[in-house]
Amino acid sequence: MKMIDFGIGKSSVIGFLWVLVTGLLQTPLVHADTEWTQATVTKELSRKCNKGKPRSAADYQSALTEVKVAAIRTWGSQQSVATTNLLSSAESEILAELDTYLLNPFIRSDCDGKTFRLALKAEVNVAALNQLMARNAPAVEGPRSRMTAVFVARKQMSVKIYDDKVTKINQQTNISEAEQSADVSGESMSAVGTSTTTEKSVTGGSVEKKANKVLYSVFNSGALDAAVTENFSSYGFRVVDASQVAGRFPGFDLNAFADEFGVGDDLSPETKNAAFDAISGKIPLLVVATVDVLSSDIDPVNGNNIVYASVKAWVYRDDGLFFESVAAVAPIQMRGAGLNETAAETDALVKAAEAASKEIVDQLNSAGIR
């Protein structure tokens, strides 16, 4: 196991934390090929440090184990609820083999007086964790269900931006008051009259905002469809190609899916219900997803093209009366790379499909749905 120990000496706590935040321990927000995790621990020692380190090797090893456990748990806390539950069920196995799941660790330490601080950044062995979670997933008896999946690939074509609608109200009220009095004394009489006018003005209004209208270009991606089928099939689901379903069951209209996802982020109730009715009693699981191709860039290091894709998905199950929502994937961004933009785009689409498929299977496994 590779470890790099940077002794900092008697630096201040603020300086130490600044190094952690701005230097070694920065982690990207977008899912890339490699995932990293990080953690820090602080321990109070029984004796003062010696040359920037604890005097006892056992104290150092205890802190190192503690920071590795914290790093694994930090990574797990950033995953979905289903993944977190599966990790929890396998935690004892993970803690027994920490170095299997945390690769290429980088370590910084600081010991000042009796206070020892240790910071770690390590690569997460996601493949090994996925295998472990699959072994610890709730047992599913018998063959898994038939499933059909519609993953719609699209690119943003245009955005129509609406100006704010401003309504102004100006209300005026005029109030007039008059007062008269008379005085009769002997043979003379006098009269006095006064008049008062009050003007009251009230102004106000409202601003109405209208959501921007986004239009998408929907396109077919054979690589995306193949990745979806491969991933679900590898978990035992009997995947039926969506085009076959559309050809055999009227009402399962892939053109309607494409048209509606070309102008919005969800399907109309009519299109959903028509699809549900078409496969009711035949295919119990339906997965619907959109995979959006986002921005592209050039890697400044190797000159490769980089493309980002975002995926979100919904899963419905036939319960005999309704198609209930049993899983969903919030938007996940993935990064693809390639020698040209087309290759990078395909890579991003495939990775997005893999990420969504895995999350869906984790949620179905967690719920005991076969």
Cα–Cα distance, 255 to 29 (Å, whole number)? 35
- Asked whether 332 and 29 are in contact (CB, 8 A), the reply is no
Q: Give 295-352 pLDDT, tens digit per residue.
A: 889 988 889 999 999 999 999 999 999 999 999 999 999 999 999 999 999 999 999 9
Per-residue confidence (pLDDT) for residue 78, from 0 to 100: 83
> What is the pLDDT confidence band of residue 24, given thresholds at 50, 70 and 90?
very low
> What is the pLDDT confidence band of residue 222, given thresholds at 50, 70 and 90?
confident
Q: Give 285-309 pLDDT, tens digit per residue.
A: 999 999 999 988 998 888 999 999 9
Per-residue confidence (pLDDT) for residue 22, from 0 to 100: 39
pLDDT(227) > 70 = yes
Mean pLDDT (whole number) for 137-162:
79
Comparison of pLDDT for 82 and 300, the residue scoring more: 300
> What is the pLDDT confidence band of residue 262, given thresholds at 50, 70 and 90?
very high
> Rg (Cα) of the chain, in Å, rounded?
33
pLDDT(29) > 60 = no
Mean pLDDT (whole number) for 211-234:
84
Q: Compute, in degrees rounded to 10, the torsion defined by CA atoms 287, 293, 297, 303.
A: 60
**Is residue 288 classed as helix, strand or coil in its secondary structure?**
strand
Enumerate the β-bridge partners of residue 38.
121
Q: Give 90-137 pLDDT, tens digit per residue.
A: 889 999 999 999 999 999 999 889 999 999 999 999 889 888 887 877
What length is written for the chain?
A: 370
Question: Which domains can be identified in the chain, with CATH numbers?
Answer: 4-134 (no CATH), 141-159+213-366 (3.40.50), 165-208 (no CATH)
CA-closest candidate to residue 313, choices 347, 360, 358: 360
Q: At what angle do helices 81-89 and 341-366 cross, to 10 degrees?
A: 60
Mean pLDDT (whole number) for 239-244:
95
For residue 301, the Cα-to-chain-centroid distance in whole angstroms is 27
Cα–Cα distance, 158 to 163 (Å, whole number)? 16
